[in-house]
């Protein structure tokens, strides 16, 4: 089969398509014919530097998610030809992932879906929408009467979060570093846009002097302390992203740094449950949500797709389709 294998970290052109054997089926794992998949920030980091970490063993076929059809169900409850999505659990990290025509994934990370969407549309959903959905409705316990700030609103996860929050009627503020992305955020459903230029706090306080009730923090540790101070009493911040390239916080002093009565939580998409995935897809169907797709590439254009993500100009989910789709 054709696959794009990471053999060393570096610029996007380290991603070259080569011929490799189709993975051997094994008990408890499902062989999926990959139809399409979404590109993820974590794959960018893997290609740039994380591939050198001691816990990553190259060569590795990257790709933490995919959509496709069951090619061989092995001894699992799936059936050949079933439409599935697969994500996480070490996919594309501790075992080979979706940058290929076929991928072998543990059954508990494979979910049957009956969504009536094209493969390209479906590919924009699993990781991005699961992350946004879990962050909003599980970790943040979002409700219609909340006022939500999404920091890093122009990321794919941010755009998905805007759509999901709007679908239940929540008031949504979204941030970007770039004034020219204001319209994208408004068109996606944001009520107001804040610019990450060092004055975000005062922009927010001008609109909501008491602060907001919920914050989805996709920039991460770099802006977390400020975010906690933009919440009203009993407000919740959920740290889901690390767009600000800072995963940890030096000298974090919880008693002083977390304002009294403010709640700090997080979300990690590593263990998707069937319940949450089913709830996500029925929510998307019920609210007729169409994912925002930036551009569709083919498997042999993965280097170009990575370059586009690196430019920060994608404005939506980057989707890769199998050349033989």
Ligand X SMILES: NC(=O)c1ccc[n+]([C@@H]2O[C@H](COP(=O)([O-])OP(=O)(O)OC[C@H]3O[C@@H](n4cnc5c(N)ncnc54)[C@H](OP(=O)(O)O)[C@@H]3O)[C@@H](O)[C@H]2O)c1
Q: Residue numbers of the site for ligand X (CB under 6 A)?
A: 40-42, 127-128, 131, 152, 154-157, 176-178, 181, 196, 218-219, 240-245, 267-269, 309, 312, 314
Q: Please, what is the minimum distance in Å from the beta carbon of residue 272 to ligand X?
A: 10
Q: Please, what is the minimum distance in Å from the beta carbon of residue 117 to ligand X?
A: 19
Q: Which is nearer to ligand X, 70 or 280 (CB)?
A: 280
Residue 312 and residue 309: Cα distance in Å, rounded? 5
Under 8 Å between Cβ of 211 and 226: no
Q: Which is nearer to ligand X, 218 or 321 (CB)?
A: 218
Q: Which is nearer to ligand X, 122 or 218 (CB)?
A: 218
Under 8 Å between Cβ of 174 and 185: yes
Q: Which is nearer to ligand X, 23 or 153 (CB)?
A: 153
Q: Please, what is the minimum distance in Å from the beta carbon of residue 19 to ligand X?
A: 29
Residue 263's φ and ψ, nearest 5 degrees, are -110, 135
Q: Please, what is the minimum distance in Å from the beta carbon of residue 8 to ligand X?
A: 22
Sheet holding 212-217, edge to edge: 192-195, 171-176, 147-151, 212-217, 231-239, 263-266
Q: Please, what is the minimum distance in Å from the beta carbon of residue 73 to ligand X?
A: 27
Q: Which is nearer to ligand X, 211 or 291 (CB)?
A: 291
* Residue located via tokens 């740094």: 257
List the one residue out of 154, 86, 165, 113 whose CA is nearest residue 317.
154
Q: Please, what is the minimum distance in Å from the beta carbon of residue 123 to ligand X?
A: 13
Q: Please, what is the minimum distance in Å from the beta carbon of residue 175 to ligand X?
A: 7
Helix (H) or strand (E) holding 17: strand 16-19
Q: What are the residues whose beta carbons fall under 8 Å from the beta carbon of 289, sequence distance 6 or more?
A: 163, 164, 167, 283
Q: Which is nearer to ligand X, 26 or 274 (CB)?
A: 274
Token pair, residue 119, equals 């493969």
Q: Which is nearer to ligand X, 103 or 240 (CB)?
A: 240
List the one residue out of 273, 274, 319 whose CA is nearest residue 35.
319
**Helix, strand, coil tally for the chain in percent (to 5):** 30, 30, 40
Distances (CA, A) of 149 to 4, 15, 40, 169, 178: 37, 36, 22, 14, 16
Q: Please, what is the minimum distance in Å from the beta carbon of residue 9 to ligand X?
A: 17
Q: Which is nearer to ligand X, 207 or 222 (CB)?
A: 222
> Between 274-286 and 126-133, two packed helices, what is the crossing angle to 10 degrees?
90
């Amino acid at each position: 089969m054709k696959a794009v294998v990471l053999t060393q970290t570096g610029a996007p052109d380290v991603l070259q398509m080569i011929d490799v054997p189709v993975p051997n089926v094994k008990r408890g794992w499902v062989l999926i014919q990959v139809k399409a998949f979404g590109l993820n920030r974590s794959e960018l980091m893997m290609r740039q530097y994380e591939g050198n970490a001691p816990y990553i063993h190259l060569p590795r076929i990257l790709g933490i998610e995919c959509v496709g059809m069951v090619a061989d169900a092995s001894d699992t409850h799936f059936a050949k030809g079933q439409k599935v999505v697969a994500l996480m659990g070490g996919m594309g990290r501790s075992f080979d992932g979706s940058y290929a025509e076929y991928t072998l994934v543990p059954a508990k990370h494979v979910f049957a879906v009956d969504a009536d969407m094209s493969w390209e549309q479906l590919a924009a959903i699993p990781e991005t929408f699961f992350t946004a959905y879990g962050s909003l409705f599980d970790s943040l316990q979002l409700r219609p009467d909340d006022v939500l700030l999404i920091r890093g609103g122009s990321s794919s996860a941010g755009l998905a979060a805007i759509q999901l929050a709007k679908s239940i009627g929540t008031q949504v503020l979204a941030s970007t570093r770039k004034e020219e992305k204001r319209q994208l955020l408004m068109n996606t459903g944001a009520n107001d846009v804040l610019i990450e230029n060092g004055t975000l706090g005062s922009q927010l306080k001008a609109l909501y002097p008491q602060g907001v009730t919920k914050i989805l923090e996709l920039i991460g540790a770099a802006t977390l302390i400020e975010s906690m101070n933009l919440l009203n009493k009993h407000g919740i911040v959920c740290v889901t992203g690390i767009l600000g390239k800072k995963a940890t916080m030096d000298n974090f002093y919880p008693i002083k740094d977390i304002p009294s009565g403010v709640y700090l939580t997080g979300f990690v998409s590593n263990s998707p449950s069937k319940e949450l995935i089913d709830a996500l897809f029925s929510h998307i169907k019920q609210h007729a949500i169409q994912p925002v797709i930036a551009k569709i590439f083919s498997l042999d254009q993965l280097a170009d797709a990575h370059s586009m993500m690196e430019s920060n100009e994608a404005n939506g989910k980057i989707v890769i389709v199998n050349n033989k789709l």
